[in-house]
Amino acid sequence: MLFNSFEFLGFLPLVFILYWFVFKRSLPWQNALILLASYFFYGWWSWKFMGLLVLSTILDYTYGFWVASPNKRKALLFLWLSIINNLGILAIFKYYNFFALQFQVALEQLGIHTAPYLLDIALPVGISFYTFHGMSYVFDIYRGQQKPVRSFIDYAVFVSFFPLLVAGPIERAGHLLPQVQQVRKFSYGQALEGCRLILWGLFKKVVIADAIAQVIDPIFTNYSDYNSPTLILACIGFAFQIYGDFSGYSDIALGTAKLFGFELLSNFRFPYFSRDIAEFWRRWHISLSSWFKDYLYIPLGGSKAGTTKAVRNTFIIFLVSGFWHGASWNFIIWGFIHALGFLPLLLLGRNRKNTDTVAQNQLLPSFGELRQMLFTFGFVCFAWIFFRAESLQAALGMISGMLTNWNHLAQITGKSIIILGGLLLAIDWYLRHNERQLRVPAWQPLRLAIYFSFALAIWLKLGGEQSFIYFQF
């Protein structure tokens, strides 16, 4: 089920009414309802993969008890079994065909011709997210930061809570599980904040991201037919599209969770106002970057094991992050490019320089801040080419076209990209101090007019049901 569908507009109020008016006096029944609603939400996409979600949940729930064993050797054994199980699920459904084809290429270089067996199965939506939920839970138990949960329903809600099930944010057991286990009371203020986040998230997805997608998708598909300025504009347009699409999903997820009394982790903090690549990754897909930092980068030694290992660990975490997004060389190169951008900051000790809000207590950024933001945004847009292009060849073709096709091939008007992207950035700049507090004018008529305008624009665009970009990961 998609957030931007009429089905969800019927599903959400129904669950909300049952949750607060029918089962409000019983926490176990509320959690059971949430779990049932989450499975229904996931099954609306495809019931045939429900078994995989349930199996993954049962395995990590069980491993949690075994990893808590006082016998360290036994605990370590089951930790590795959990890792193997989770990565094995990802390897089969997400990476098997990629490795099979790469192995075939390697053999052909040796003069051995093979016909590898490829799996003809769809990628289960959300598989990269719920497997990471389970892995972090087991990791935290092993490290003594989390105790095993007795109630299977409580744990299953943590793994499959429907607002975050298919595209995050990637929650931590220590943050979400206590909220699952404690009595929740309805808060009008919290619910109102949730509705504002849902409204803003839907606007970013339906009105901005989907509209930009209609303009740039033909360009990425037929890049050789367009001139250099159009190709450059399409890359900038994709930067706005993916941000509106993914951060819009996160806003809807956070807002929906608020309606049920939950507070989820932030996933975005205005990344396109970043002044360097290190700051960008503290603001973009925060739940994923922090996951890799805590469960991969730091265990490898982080930046405290010497410069050589710090450089090694930096490349590992970015390459793995790229590969997490998809089984393609495009994503690996995308991660590699970001590693190259991060490396000078690491070596110069400047990777923690920009940790404050840009233009703090000022209306506009300084010239230096503006220059840094434009350079970082340009770097990110260049890397997005590899993320968006359909193949490595297409990405290189796009870059070549940007440099050489300064003629009068077919081109598009960039008005929609400029207007919608500018609107997105302008609202973000107004809200940049707190992504959760959607400040609106205090004058009620103007406030209601803004809400109505957003809702009307969404309603007029609703129905196309364009999937969210991160559903493919």
Give catalytic status of residue 285 as yes or no. Answer: no
Alpha-carbon distance of 183 to 19, in angstroms, equals 12
Residue 232, C-beta contacts closer than 8 angstroms, at least 6 positions apart: 402
Query: Could you count the other beta carbons within 10 Å of the beta carbon of residue 459?
Result: 12
CB–CB of 89/132 below 8 Å? no
Rounded to the nearest 10 degrees, what angle do helices 392-404 and 228-259 cross at?
Answer: 130
Burial of residue 63 (CB within 10 Å: 0-12, 13-18, 19+) is: buried
For residue 171, give both structure tokens: 């929650």
Alpha helices in 110-227 (DSSP H): 127-142, 152-160, 173-181, 188-202, 210-221
CB of 146 closer than 8 Å to CB of 174: yes
Catalytic residue from among 325, 338, 408, 433: 325
What CA–CA distance (Å, rounded) separates 263 from 258? Answer: 6
How far apart (Å, rounded) are the C-alpha atoms in residues 309 and 41?
44
- Say which residues have a Cβ less than 8 Å from residue 47's Cβ, sequence separation at least 6: none
- Give phi and psi for 226, each to the nearest 5: -120, 155
* Cα gap 389→224, rounded to integer Å: 13
Query: From residue 440, how far is each of 259, 426, 444, 446 by CA, in Å?
Result: 20, 14, 9, 9
Q: Which of 6, 453, 441, 16 is nearest to 203 (CA)?
A: 453
For the chain, the C-alpha Rg in angstroms (whole number) is 23
Q: What share of the chain is helix, strand, coil (3-state, %, to 5)?
A: 70, 0, 30
Listed residue (251, 279, 284) closest to 268, CA to CA:
284
Residue 200, classified by CB atoms within 10 Å of its CB into exposed (0-12), middle (13-18) or buried (19+), is buried
Backbone φ and ψ for 410, nearest 5 degrees, come out as -55, 140
Closest residue by Cα to residue 12 from 124, 467, 4, 159: 4
Close Cβ partners of 15 (under 8 Å, ≥ 6 residues apart) = 33, 34, 37
User: Sign of the CA dihedral 40, 45, 51, 54?
Assistant: negative
Q: Return the active site residues.
A: 325
